[in-house]
Amino acid sequence: QPDTTAGDCWAFQGSEGQVVIRLPARIWPSALTVQHIFKSGAAACSISSFPRSIAVSGLDEEGKDTPLGTFTYDIKRQEIQVFSLKSERYKAYKYIKIKILSNWGNSKYTCLYRVQVHGKRA
């Protein structure tokens, strides 16, 4: 959903979690955009709950996991950050796994607001 209102996020317990996204078509992934709320709007959601280390994988139909990159979401930069993915030229994916490996210090929960996968349709 395109809403990035404070507290209107996918929140999960702890500092680690993952989600698998089924794409509308098989794609050759090229980039991942992660968007969080503006720091000024973070009163209801502590900045410490922002994702920090993010790993991205492509999943084939059998569930085989192919790493596409590991990134750091930098809370000192803009709220929308784009990360280039490494992908094999002839390997397209219908599923993308996003794994939050850590957040910025909140031990109780982590909030993920908006994620976009970019690529070329296979």
34-67 pLDDT, tens per residue?
A: 988 766 555 445 788 899 999 999 998 888 999 9
pTM across the whole model: 0.86
The mean per-residue pLDDT over the stretch 27-33 comes to: 94
Query: Cβ neighbours of residue 35 under 8 Å, at least 6 residues apart?
Result: 4, 79, 80, 81, 113, 114, 115, 116
User: From CA 12, how far away is CA 71, in angstroms rounded?
Assistant: 19
Percent of the chain with pLDDT over 70: 86
* Closest by Cα among 107, 100, 87 to 55: 100
Is the domain spanning 15-121 CATH 2.60.120.260? The answer is yes
